[in-house]
Amino acid sequence: MAITKKQSTDLSGVPTKSKISRGGLAKQVFEYAPAPESIDHVKIQPRYGLFIGGRMVEPHSKKRFPTINPATESKLAEVVDADEVDVDHAVKAADKAFDSWARLSPSRRARYLFRISRLLQERSRELAVVETMDGGKPIKESRDVDIPLSAAHFFYYAGWADKLEWAFPNRKPRPLGVAGQVIPWNFPLLMLAWKIAPALAAGNTVVLKPAETTPLSAMVFAEICMQAELPPGVVNIVTGAGKTGSLVVSHPDVKKVAFTGSTEVGKSIQRAIAGSGKRLTLELGGKAANIVFDDAPLDQAVEGIVNGIYFNQGHVCCAGSRLLVQESIAEPLLEKLKRRLSTLRLGDPLDKNTDIGAINSRAQLEKIQGLVESGIEEGAELYQPECVLPARGFWFPPSLFTNVSQSYRIAREEIFGPVLSVLTFRTPNEAVEKANNTPYGLSAGVWTDKGSRILWMAERMRAGVVWANTFNRFDPSSPFGGYKESGFGREGGVHGLLPYLELN
Ligand code: NAD
Ligand code: MN
């Protein structure tokens, strides 16, 4: 079955759609009316300062840079490129706030966290729109996943603030001090919540730096801290690029560093703070195997595969980017999967019917394009459904590669885009071997009808989370984190408190 094609037209000018084999089934065409989310209620300021000591302050740095909407390439706002003096102010403010925050009665700390959670819910529509405009993700995802999970995270850790003695009995849990936190652009508010909620619940104060392409939801969060009347300095937010991030993590008064992002930067941070006594957790990249056995319910598996790799345009560290399918069902599964791909709607992220939004930045688009080209050059076969890409903005169609060998770059490297590499296996042992044949170890998925096989597989997967007959499922009570080059430390659950506490 040769279903290899690119969008657009072939040489004759005839839409290549006519060349797609669809297993004899005529494609049903649905026309959706536009269903854009209203943006009238959202006020994005033309320029932002830094959130230091409980208020928005004018920076020392005179430099600002724009953050754009990757779906339109239009400028949304300008944010500060914070310099060494700015970062120092933020750390000093956090340090000053630490003593009284740590000594505050735990139930009072909980009250602030509950208040933040409540305000996140109250302002959820606004936050969803800001997240979608600044980062390019579909509104249905920011509305139904990012924002509710962020609120749930604060709600969950609020519940721990006054129960630390019970979480770690006879261990005298104590906070560490100022936490320096650096987060990526794929889940801006959610990663902020993963970092700030446990730190505050444990009695630490924080300086957080959002990613340079997605700083705006953190700016709304700064307003929420003020609305919640959080004591000044408990949360500080500085914007900037990698340089600002490195200033945050290497500041001598920062006692704990939490980083989510690329493995390369994670390693450089580890080197930079080695020997400083700072505590460190790293949540880095992944190349997860999503493994489908011949006894799996195929339609359900197809939905799980789609969710695993095309959710958030594949900008997901735990994305199921390697599909391992048992040989005997490879053909019917791929046929179903290709058909499903052709129903995904790519376009305006603010449209409530959009499945695939914009790629977060031009740089990320170029990285995806480069890796996809390497896949073709190395001999893999590319499939892309017919799909019209908008003229402006950064876009990449949902794609899958067959005929992939384990040595190809597309099977080894994190693409961080909507690109799936399909491999096959014959036996469970071979599935385990191939799944673990990666320097990463963040997540894995197993699709089978047999509970015993799920347990057998989960025991053998070198991955921080193993999903069974589902994928990309998150709950604040469930710890998340990696093995090997995917990093160390856990976020979520009771485990997520540990990196922010000193125990006897
Ligand atoms: P990155 O690691 O460069 O950036 C992540 C965050 O770290 C950003 O806030 C950035 O400003 C900051 N940063 C950059 N250099 C730093 C330094 N030396 N010290 C401290 N902070 C620094 O990631 P990226 O360039 O935006 O993306 C590159 C690749 O990273 C992606 O293609 C993807 O493979 C991976 N990635 C993984 C995740 C994840 O969730 N694990 C998230 C984003 C990106
Ligand atoms: Mn942006």
**pLDDT tens track for 129-147:** 999 999 999 999 999 999 9
Per-residue model confidence (pLDDT) at position 492: 97
With bands split at pLDDT 50, 70 and 90, how would you rate the model's confidence at 31? confident
Beta-sheet pairing, 178-182 with 205-209: parallel
Per-residue model confidence (pLDDT) at position 135: 98
Share of the chain above pLDDT 90, in %: 93
Long-range contacts of residues 148-151, Cβ cutoff 8 Å, at least 24 apart: 148/121, 148/124, 149/190, 149/193, 149/474, 149/476, 150/120, 150/189, 150/190, 150/192, 150/193, 151/117, 151/118, 151/120, 151/121, 151/124, 151/193
Report the run of H or E that residue 240 belongs to, with start and end. none
| DSSP H helical ranges for 51-183 | 84-103, 106-122, 124-135, 139-141, 147-161, 164-167
With tokens 């384990």, the residue in question is: 406
Calculate the alpha carbon distances from 414 to 142, 284, 317 in Å. 23, 11, 8
| pLDDT surpassing 50 at residue 9 | no
User: pLDDT tens digits, residue range 429-462?
Assistant: 999 999 999 999 999 999 999 999 999 999 999 9
82 CB within 6 A, ligand 1? no
Per-residue model confidence (pLDDT) at position 32: 85
With bands split at pLDDT 50, 70 and 90, how would you rate the model's confidence at 12? very low
Q: How far is CA 59 from the centre of its chain?
A: 29
In angstroms, the CA 136 to CA 133 distance is 6
Residues 6+ apart with CB under 8 A from 231: 54, 97, 100, 101, 104, 112
| pLDDT surpassing 80 at residue 21 | no
With bands split at pLDDT 50, 70 and 90, how would you rate the model's confidence at 20? very low
Nearest to 357 by CA among 131, 76, 123, 127: 131
| pLDDT surpassing 80 at residue 264 | yes
User: pLDDT tens digits, residue range 366-398?
Assistant: 999 999 999 999 999 999 999 899 999 999 999
Please give the average per-residue pLDDT across 183-195, as a whole number. 98
Q: Write the DSSP symbol of residue 37.
A: P
483: its two tokens: 């093995």
In angstroms, the CA 440 to CA 294 distance is 26
Nearest Cα residue to atom 21 of ligand 1: 245
| pLDDT surpassing 70 at residue 116 | yes
| pLDDT surpassing 70 at residue 16 | no
| pLDDT surpassing 60 at residue 83 | yes
Per-residue model confidence (pLDDT) at position 4: 40
How many A from CA of 96 to the centre of ligand 2?
Answer: 32
Q: What is the DSSP track for 400-456?
A: EEES--TTSHHHHS---SSEEEEEEESSHHHHHHHHH-SS--SEEEEE-S-HHHHHH
What pTM was computed for the model? 0.94
| pLDDT surpassing 70 at residue 157 | yes
Calculate the alpha carbon distances from 183 to 130, 218, 341 in Å. 17, 11, 31
316 CB within 6 A, ligand 1? no
With bands split at pLDDT 50, 70 and 90, how would you rate the model's confidence at 222? very high
What domains, with CATH codes, occur in the chain?
19-34+286-468 (3.40.309.10), 50-68+90-284+486-503 (3.40.605.10)
Name the residue of 182, 368, 438 whose CB sits within 8 Å of the most ligand 1 atoms, as the mutation to test its pocket: 182
Active-site amino acid positions: 283, 317
Residues 6+ apart with CB under 8 A from 351: 34, 35, 36, 37, 138, 139, 345
| pLDDT surpassing 60 at residue 13 | no
With bands split at pLDDT 50, 70 and 90, how would you rate the model's confidence at 27? low
Per-residue model confidence (pLDDT) at position 137: 98
Nearest Cα residue to atom 25 of ligand 1: 262
With bands split at pLDDT 50, 70 and 90, how would you rate the model's confidence at 421? very high
User: pLDDT tens digits, residue range 472-494?
Assistant: 999 999 999 999 999 999 999 99
